Amino acid sequence: MTKPVIDAQTQIELEAAAFRRLRQHLMQDRTDVQNIDMMNLTGFCRNCLSRWYQEAANDKGIEMDKAQAREIFYGMTMDEWKANYQTDAGADKQEAFKKSFAENVGTDKG
């Protein structure tokens, strides 16, 4: 089977559609999945996705800070998300998170 020929604009549109579907899955379909669990298992979470969105905007000359990017990605403020969906994480998850964050993010960027 040969790979389909896809022009650059169509590739952008397909990638954007896949991103929108991932966002829907994380923000609507699976709000029960905690960011800390995602980070511990995969090395990224919703906050990483919002940071990548912010970095892409900044690269395009659009001024956007972390809080603004998170509100765009989450569709609400972080305080609202935490109140509605975030659960307490035990010491074991918090310790695993520190390691995963250091390995995958390094420092909190902005």
pLDDT digits (tens, 9 = 90+) for 49-98: 999 999 999 999 999 999 999 999 999 999 999 999 998 888 888 888 88
Q: What is the CA radius of gyration of the chain?
A: 16
Over residues 35-46, the mean pLDDT reads 93
pTM for the structure as a whole: 0.80
Mean pLDDT of the chain: 92
Four-point Cα dihedral 76, 25, 33, 74, nearest 10: -10
Q: Looking up tokens 């310790």, which residue turns up?
A: 95
Q: What is the pLDDT confidence band of residue 110, given thresholds at 50, 70 and 90?
A: very low
